[in-house]
Amino acid sequence: MSKEPNKPSESLVQELLAERRALKVEVERVRLELADARSTSSGPDPKVRELQDEVERLRYQLASARAEAGKMREERDELRQGIERALDQISKK
């Protein structure tokens, strides 16, 4: 028997080993990039705190507007009842 059948499998093994080495290099490169990104990040984006403050301010403003709208509805209802009573009194006379 010749060694001819072994050659394709040997070349396949060599290709797989080369691919494995390349993948190991890529993994290490990504690890280094991740470590670099983590070390250079200084925490959350400062804009986030500014936006959170804005959201809180808008929530407060919305709650105030809702409370004022509720108060205005009550006043409207009281005025409507007063007008209806006045109209009843006028129509009874």
Given a cut of 70, whether residue 8 has pLDDT beyond it is no
Highest-scoring range by mean pLDDT, 4-8, 13-17, 21-25, 33-37? 21-25
Q: Look at residue 1 in the predicted model and tell me its pLDDT.
A: 45
Residue 6 pLDDT exceeds 60: no
Q: How many CA atoms lie within 13 A of 40 on its CB side?
A: 6
Query: How far is the C-alpha of 34 from the C-alpha of 39, rounded, in Å?
Result: 9
**6-11, long-range: CB < 8 A, 24+ apart:** none
